[in-house]
Structure 1
Amino acid sequence: MICRILLLIILNSCLCAATFVVNVTQSSYQAEENHSITLEWTFTTTPDRSWRYLFILCQLLASDKGIILYQVHDGVEVSESQDEQFSGRVQSDKDVLREGRIRLHVSRLRTEDSGLYLCDVETNDGSGSGSLQLSISVQKNIAAVPGKNVSLPCQIPNKKPDVFVKWTRPDLEPEYVFLFRDDQLDPELQNPSYQNRVDLQDRQMKDGDVSLVLENVTPNDRGTYECRVFQRAANRRKRRSLTFDPIAVIFLDVAPPPENMKGRTEDGSSHQRAGLMAVAGLIITVAVGVVVINKYSSFLKK
Structure 2
Amino acid sequence: MKMISRILLLLILSSCLCAATFVVNVTQSCYQAQENHSITLEWTFTTKTQGSWRDLFIYCRLVAPHKELIFYQVHGGVEIPDSQDEQFSGRVQIDKDVLREGRIRLHVSRLRTEDSGQYLCDVKTEDGSDKEKCQLNVSKMISAVPGQSVSLPCRLPNIKPAVVVQWTRPDLEPEYVLLFRDEQPDPENQHPSFRKRVELQERRMKDGDVSLLLSNVTTSDSGKYECRVFQRVSSGRKTVNLTSDPIWIVFLDVAPPPENVVGRKEDGSRNNHVGLIVGAILIIGAVLIAALIIGLILHHYVIKTKEEETEDEQITELTVSVKDGSSSDPQP
**What TM-score does the superposition give when structure 2 sets the normalisation length?**
0.66
Residues of 2 paired with 1:181 and 1:34: CA distance?
34
Contact in 2 for aligned 1:52/1:124 (Cα 8 Å): no
- Where 2:6 maps in the other structure, the secondary structure is helix
Contact in 1 for aligned 2:177/2:194 (Cα 8 Å): yes
Q: Deviations over 1:20-40 (max 9, x none)?
A: 111122222111101111111
- Where 1:260 maps in the other structure, the secondary structure is coil
Q: Deviations over 1:167-205 (max 9, x none)?
A: 3222222111112356532323322343223224x4434
Contact in 1 for aligned 2:137/2:249 (Cα 8 Å): yes
Residues of 1 paired with 2:84 and 2:254: CA distance?
39
Q: How does 1:1-302 map to 2 (within 5 A)?
A: 1-51=3-53, 53-144=55-146, 149-156=147-154, 162-163=161-162, 165-181=165-181, 183-200=183-200, 202-205=201-204, 208=209, 210-215=211-216, 221-230=220-229, 232=231, 235-236=234-235, 238=240, 244=246, 246-252=248-254, 255-263=265-273
Corresponding position of 2:292: none
Residues of 2 paired with 1:186 and 1:197: CA distance?
13
- Where 1:109 maps in the other structure, the secondary structure is coil
The alpha-carbon distance between structure 1 residues 231 and 122, as it changes in their structure 2 partners (threshold 3 A), is: farther
The alpha-carbon distance between structure 1 residues 50 and 136, as it changes in their structure 2 partners (threshold 3 A), is: same
Q: Deviations over 1:55-94 (max 9, x none)?
A: 2111222234532211222222222332232222212223
| Deviation of 1:107 (Å) | 1.4
Q: Give the number of equivalent residue pairs.
A: 260
Residues of 2 paired with 1:65 and 1:242: CA distance?
25
Q: Which one-letter code corresponds to 2:213 in the other structure?
A: L
Contact in 1 for aligned 2:155/2:210 (Cα 8 Å): no
RMSD over aligned CA atoms reads: 3.4
Q: Which one-letter code corresponds to 2:112 in the other structure?
A: R
Residues of 2 paired with 1:110 and 1:142: CA distance?
19
Residues of 1 paired with 2:274 and 2:85: CA distance?
58
**What TM-score does the superposition give when structure 1 sets the normalisation length?**
0.71
Residues of 1 paired with 2:119 and 2:242: CA distance?
15
Deviates more, 1:4-13 or 1:117-126: 4-13
| Deviation of 1:4 (Å) | 2.8
Q: Which one-letter code corresponds to 1:256 in the other structure?
A: E
- Where 1:204 maps in the other structure, the secondary structure is helix
Deviates more, 1:133-142 or 1:97-106: 133-142
Q: Which one-letter code corresponds to 1:244 in the other structure?
A: P
Deviates more, 1:84-93 or 1:205-214: 205-214
Corresponding position of 1:282: none
- Where 1:88 maps in the other structure, the secondary structure is coil
Contact in 2 for aligned 1:222/1:253 (Cα 8 Å): no
Contact in 1 for aligned 2:218/2:266 (Cα 8 Å): no
The alpha-carbon distance between structure 1 residues 165 and 248, as it changes in their structure 2 partners (threshold 3 A), is: farther
Residues of 2 paired with 1:183 and 1:167: CA distance?
15
Contact in 1 for aligned 2:59/2:122 (Cα 8 Å): yes
Contact in 1 for aligned 2:64/2:157 (Cα 8 Å): no
Corresponding position of 2:312: none
- Where 2:36 maps in the other structure, the secondary structure is coil
Residues of 2 paired with 1:225 and 1:260: CA distance?
29
Between structures 1 and 2, the one with greater helix share = 2
Residues of 2 paired with 1:155 and 1:250: CA distance?
11
| Deviation of 1:258 (Å) | 4.8
| Deviation of 1:165 (Å) | 4.3
Contact in 2 for aligned 1:115/1:243 (Cα 8 Å): no
Residues of 2 paired with 1:65 and 1:225: CA distance?
28
Contact in 2 for aligned 1:167/1:179 (Cα 8 Å): yes
Q: Which one-letter code corresponds to 2:27 in the other structure?
A: T
| Deviation of 1:104 (Å) | 1.0
